Amino acid sequence: MKKLILIMPLIICFFWITSCGNSQTDTAETQTNQIEKSKTATIQETSTSTQNKTDTTQTTVSEKPKIGTVKELVNGDLMCYATLIDENGTEHNVGASFEICAEQATFVNKKVRVFYKLESVNDCQSAEPCGKTRKEYLITKMEILKPN
């Protein structure tokens, strides 16, 4: 009988320790699953927002004129600014690379075909670097079209 009294608490302690160990394992597994679900959700949100940004950028390019008459080219702090009048007579102010403004005499008052490229532009209030940039489609090439 004395042996049974001594063995019983040992058995109870053994079951108690075993069950505590399992609950810690379950908790760790639950936390790991929650972290993995959170990472998956974050990746899906990032993917969705990237697709939305891409769609917005494509819309912006399609809204810009591809053919027009150059009314004015002006050097600015952050980029060259081109004023184009499209075939419908609508005036568009679009950004261009500084190389385009350097050839101002060649393009002003000429009908041109323009080509855009996604470029990094300083996102500052002045020409001094502030470390912030934004992506914007700029005119990087112009071809003068022959009159019909």
Please tell me the predicted confidence (pLDDT) of residue 130.
Answer: 79
pLDDT in tens, 97-148: 999 999 989 999 999 999 999 998 888 776 677 788 889 999 999 999 987 6
Report how many domains make up the chain.
Answer: 2
Residue 57 has pLDDT above 50, yes or no: no
Determine the structural domain holding residue 123 and report its residue range: 65-144
- Is the domain of 72 the same as that of 131? yes
pLDDT above 90 covers what percent of the chain?
Answer: 35
Q: Does the reported pTM lie above 0.75?
A: no
Rg, Å, the chain Cα set: 33
- Is the domain of 79 the same as that of 47? no
Average pLDDT, the chain: 76
- Is the domain of 17 the same as that of 75? no
CB 145 within 8 A of CB 112: yes
Q: Distance from CA of residue 74 to its chain's centroid? A: 28
